[in-house]
Each structure stands twice: as structure tokens, then as C-alpha cells.
């Protein structure tokens, strides 16, 4: 067998890119699953394995400790735990993958939020012997909160429950019901044994009753981009390109990455927050002129009119322009060690725009394990998730996070030292539960009510 040839063929033909995140505590076998995906896609190199073997021998271990492969920091190796998100890369013939490998400890909710923020798919690991536990509910809640489009429930260690279908079915049913109640749009449950290799890359010989895809097969075939027809176009202006050269004396292009939807030449657009209107005269996709461009392409747009447009403005189709607002109701995950308090002055970074803001209220804090909520906590500390009301000094063209992960998200930043305080998502928190909250708010408008 020539493994090297296999790898070259695989990696050269891969076409699209999928970003996904894994969640699960160490005991659930996350490292084993990650290791198997990397190993079976031949993404672990001889010198990396040798380094792990040497280090393991150096510590007096008899077998190579594969955790050393992924635990990149001194502190992690010393403590034997993963303390930070790491990004890993592998490829198959069909696709390339960026894996956000997130630690599963309770105190690192912010790390899963970080990993999930850019993920199109999340793998939640469950130990088949333990079933759905607090940690599982927490991971499902984070995936729902961050609106990760696809969630995989990997019921691991099936080898330790005799590959019994009823065990899997019960866990899958409980998880699916819970995740669906949070509004997770798509859930795929897969019975696996990461250690024995069942249904990770190869279909299991022990579970004839399972007719679905393996984990890898699912990763390869899940849609990596969204249907644009339902997405309104959003184009945050990053930078104004004005060469002012003899060759391009009057060129004025607005550079940015399309945040959602598609832009077309000839389209009527509105610039926010000013509200001025114009028409798209030309689109340049990094050197090639195009009639249409879409998210997440980085492009330069020219308009038919000379408007005063600068970094921080948002260009959107006139018929679907968002209404600028200075009052933001959002869910935030607090990521800093210092607290976020009512009355605190912060900076709010939304797309390419950073504005002054003040935290007017923190109506509630939620416990992700059971979604129980605690009214008026006064402040949020590291890893807390809560609802906030923010007033900004200038209007923002903000969408609901449910409509656009890119233009519905923001950071809260400490103006004193630049620390990132919180990750914010505008609008309702959980799709389905939030609907209930909205209904109940109509019936009994109570500020301190259960608003998740």
C-alpha cells in the first residue's frame, strides 16, 4: 500500500472548505475522534508522530500519548488538559476541513462559543453509557445560540454498550427533542466508536441496524454554503480605494467582504446609516470584473454617484435595507475575566464599525445546562450568557443574528485596555423558545419575565 500516493490524490482533488467545531469533554473521547479523523485522512505526519513518541518516552510513558499531538502549549501538557481552541486541518477527496478543536470543560464555555462562531457544523459527543448529560445540553445550547446550521450528535463508545440500537435510539431521541426545542435546524445522530473506528470513517460492521452516513461521509456531503435566495445582501465597507494616479485619476472603489446574500451590477442600493441611495456601477472580484458577487467573496464595488462613504458604512439593496438603531437587545456570552456590569461604558464593534455604547440593562442570565434563567443579575462574569440592553452613541445597521450571523453579531470591548469583553448576538436567543417568549411578552409584557 502506498499511503503517500493516496494522500496526494485526496488532497489535490478536494474542492470546497467546511469549517466545523467539536464539543465534548475529554472523557467523551473527543481527542480520539479528532485523532482518528486526522489519522485516517493521513494528516498526521511522520515527524509529528516521532516527536510525540520521543516526548512520551521522555516522560517515562510506554505508549505514545496522542494528546501530545494536539495539546500545543506547555501548560496544557503539564496539566494534561486542553485549555484553548486549536485549529486543525485535514482533507479528503471531496472536501477540505478546518476543525475548531474546542475544550469541553464547563469553565471554557467561551471557547466553544469562539469555535462555534465560525462553524457551519458542530459535532457534539456523548458517551453512550451516560446518555444526555448537563454537558450535552450545554453544548446543544451553545450550538443553537450561535446558530450553527448543522449539528451532529455522535453517540460514542457504542462498543461499551454492545452496539445496542435501543441505547442509541433513546439518546438520539432525547437529544433531538431538546435541540429541536432550541431551534437547531438540522440534527444528524450517528452511533460511533471513535476508539474502534465504527462509523467514523468506515461504516461499522457491528451496527447493521444503522443505515445513515459515517461521521466523515456526513462532513463531506453537508452543504457548505447557504442558499442565497433567502439572504438579503449586506456589504460592510472596509476600506475606500482611491489610487489617485495618472492611470486611475477618479477611481473610487469600496472594498469589503460581502457579509450575506449577493450583489448585482445595476442594483439600487442604500448606504447606511446616512440613507443615501445610488446604483452599483461595477463589481471587481480581486482582479476580475463581474456582474454578480456573493458572500463571502471579498470585492470592490463602485457606485454611479459620488457619495461620502467611508469605513463602517453598510451598503445594502434599497428594497431590503436594514433600519438603523441605537438600541440593541441581544444575548451575549461574556468572554473576559473582568465582569460586565449595568451602566458600564464599552465599545461595540459591529462589522467594520466601532461605536461607543453603554450597557443599559442586564435583564437576565441563563444557565445553559437547563436553560433556567436568573433575573437582573446586575453583572455577567466569565463564561456567563445573558440578555443585555445596549444603547449606542451612533446608529448601527444591525440585523437579527437569526437572519445573518455576520451582520447580527458584535463584540463588546473595554475602551480602557482593549479587552474583548463579550460576544453579542442581536435579537432573540433561541429560535423556538424565543418565539414562545415573544408570544408570552404579547400577552403579559413583563420586563423581568423569562425571555429565553
Task: Please report how close the Cβ of residue 358 comes to another protein at its closest, in angstroms.
Answer: 18
Q: Binding to another protein by residue 125, rule CB under 8 A? A: no
Q: Binding to another protein by residue 137, rule CB under 8 A? A: no
Q: Binding to another protein by residue 74, rule CB under 8 A? A: yes
Task: Please report how close the Cβ of residue 63 comes to another protein at its closest, in angstroms.
Answer: 17
Exactly one of 26, 27, 64, 88 binds another protein (CB under 8 A); that residue is 88
Q: For 399, which DSSP code?
A: P
Q: What x-and-dash track marks residues 149-168 binding another protein by CB under 8 A? A: --------------------
CB environment 46-68: b (16+ within 10 A), e (fewer): eeeeeebeeebeeeeeeebbbbb
Give the up-direction half-sphere exposure of residue 74: CA atoms within 13 A in the CB hemisphere. 0
Exactly one of 22, 24, 32, 71 binds another protein (CB under 8 A); that residue is 71
344-383: contacts with another protein (CB under 8 A): 347, 349, 351-352
Which one of 172-180, 252-260, 318-326, 385-393 is the stretch in contact with another protein (CB under 8 A)? 252-260
Which one of 126-134, 155-163, 189-197, 253-261 is the stretch in contact with another protein (CB under 8 A)? 253-261
Cell of 27: 472523557
Exactly one of 26, 27, 53, 55 binds another protein (CB under 8 A); that residue is 55
The candidate with the shortest Cα–Cα distance to 27, out of 68, 67, 70, is 67
Task: Please report how close the Cβ of residue 185 comes to another protein at its closest, in angstroms.
Answer: 16
Q: Binding to another protein by residue 255, rule CB under 8 A? A: yes
377-436: contacts with another protein (CB under 8 A): 405-406, 409-411, 413, 417-420, 423
Q: Binding to another protein by residue 61, rule CB under 8 A? A: no
Exactly one of 79, 89, 268, 438 binds another protein (CB under 8 A); that residue is 89
How far is residue 80's CA from residue 387's CA, in Å, rounded to a whole number? 35
Task: Please report how close the Cβ of residue 336 comes to another protein at its closest, in angstroms.
Answer: 9
Closer by beta carbon to another protein, 208 or else 291: 291
290-319: contacts with another protein (CB under 8 A): 290-294, 296-298, 311
Separation in Å, CA 9 to CA 12, 170, 190, 200, 381: 5, 40, 28, 21, 49
The candidate with the shortest Cα–Cα distance to 126, out of 167, 171, 62, 163, is 171
Task: Please report how close the Cβ of residue 166 comes to another protein at its closest, in angstroms.
Answer: 32
- The burial class, CB within 10 Å (0-12 / 13-18 / 19+), for 296 is exposed
170-209: contacts with another protein (CB under 8 A): none
102-121: contacts with another protein (CB under 8 A): 110-111, 113-114, 117-118
Q: Binding to another protein by residue 70, rule CB under 8 A? A: yes
How far is residue 410's CA from residue 433's CA, in Å, rounded to a whole number? 22
Separation in Å, CA 367 to CA 133, 142, 351: 14, 11, 28
Q: Binding to another protein by residue 77, rule CB under 8 A? A: yes
Task: Please report how close the Cβ of residue 296 comes to another protein at its closest, in angstroms.
Answer: 6
- The burial class, CB within 10 Å (0-12 / 13-18 / 19+), for 211 is exposed
CB environment 96-115: b (16+ within 10 A), e (fewer): bbbbbbbbbbeebbbbbbbb
Separation in Å, CA 320 to CA 261, 266, 314, 316: 11, 15, 12, 7
How far is residue 386's CA from residue 364's CA, in Å, rounded to a whole number? 6
Which one of 78-86, 191-199, 321-329, 442-450 is the stretch in contact with another protein (CB under 8 A)? 78-86
The candidate with the shortest Cα–Cα distance to 103, out of 90, 116, 121, is 116
Amino acid at each position: 500500500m502506498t499511503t503517500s500516493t493516496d494522500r496526494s490524490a485526496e488532497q489535490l482533488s478536494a474542492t470546497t472548505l467546511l469549517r466545523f467545531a467539536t464539543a465534548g469533554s475529554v472523557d467523551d473521547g473527543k481527542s480520539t475522534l479528532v485523532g482518528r479523523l486526522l489519522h485516517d485522512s493521513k494528516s498526521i505526519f511522520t515527524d509529528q508522530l516521532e516527536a510525540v513518541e520521543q516526548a512520551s518516552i521522555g516522560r517515562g510513558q510506554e505508549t505514545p500519548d496522542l494528546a501530545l499531538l494536539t495539546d500545543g502549549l506547555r501548560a496544557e501538557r503539564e496539566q494534561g488538559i486542553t485549555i484553548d481552541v486549536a485549529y486543525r486541518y485535514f482533507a479528503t477527496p471531496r472536501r477540505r476541513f478546518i476543525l475548531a478543536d474546542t475544550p469541553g470543560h464547563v469553565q471554557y464555555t467561551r471557547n466553544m462559543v469562539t469555535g462555534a462562531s465560525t462553524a457551519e457544523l458542530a459535532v457534539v459527543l456523548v458517551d453512550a453509557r451516560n446518555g444526555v448529560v448537563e454537558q450535552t445540553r450545554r453544548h446543544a445550547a451553545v450550538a443553537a445560540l450561535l446558530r450553527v446550521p448543522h449539528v451532529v450528535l455522535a453517540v460514542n463508545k457504542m462498543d461499551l454498550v454492545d452496539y445496542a440500537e435501543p441505547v442509541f435510539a433513546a439518546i438520539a431521541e432525547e437529544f433531538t427533542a431538546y435541540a429541536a426545542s432550541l431551534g437547531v435546524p438540522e440534527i444528524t445522530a450517528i452511533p460511533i466508536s471513535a476508539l474502534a473506528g465504527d462509523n467514523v470513517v468506515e461504516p461499522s460492521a457491528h451496527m447493521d441496524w444503522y443505515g445513515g452516513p459515517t461521521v466523515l461521509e456526513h462532513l463531506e456531503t453537508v452543504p457548505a454554503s447557504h442558499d442565497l435566495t433567502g439572504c438579503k445582501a449586506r456589504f460592510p465597507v472596509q476600506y475606500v480605494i482611491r489610487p489617485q494616479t495618472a492611470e486611475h485619476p477618479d477611481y473610487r472603489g469600496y472594498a469589503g467582504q460581502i457579509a450575506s446574500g449577493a450583489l448585482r451590477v445595476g442594483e439600487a442600493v442604500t448606504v447606511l446609516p446616512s440613507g443615501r441611495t445610488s446604483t452599483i456601477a461595477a463589481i471587481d472580484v480581486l482582479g476580475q470584473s463581474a456582474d454578480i458577487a456573493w458572500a463571502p467573496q471579498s470585492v470592490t464595488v463602485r457606485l454611479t454617484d459620488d457619495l461620502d462613504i467611508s469605513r463602517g458604512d453598510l451598503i445594502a439593496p434599497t428594497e431590503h435595507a436594514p433600519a438603523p438603531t441605537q438600541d440593541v437587545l441581544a444575548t451575549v456570552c461574556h468572554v473576559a475575566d473582568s465582569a460586565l456590569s449595568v451602566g458600564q461604558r464599552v465599545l461595540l464593534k459591529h462589522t467594520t464599525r466601532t461605536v461607543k455604547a453603554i450597557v443599559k440593562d442586564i435583564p437576565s442570565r441563563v444557565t445553559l445546562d437547563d436553560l433556567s434563567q436568573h433575573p437582573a443579575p446586575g453583572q455577567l462574569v466569565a463564561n456567563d450568557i445573558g440578555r443585555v440592553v445596549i444603547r449606542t452613541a451612533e446608529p448601527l445597521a444591525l440585523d437579527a443574528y437569526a437572519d445573518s450571523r455576520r451582520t447580527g453579531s458584535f463584540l463588546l470591548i473595554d475602551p480602557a485596555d482593549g479587552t474583548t469583553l463579550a460576544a453579542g448576538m442581536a435579537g432573540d436567543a433561541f429560535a423556538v423558545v424565543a418565539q414562545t417568549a415573544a408570544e408570552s411578552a404579547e400577552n403579559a409584557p413583563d420586563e423581568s419575565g423569562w425571555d429565553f
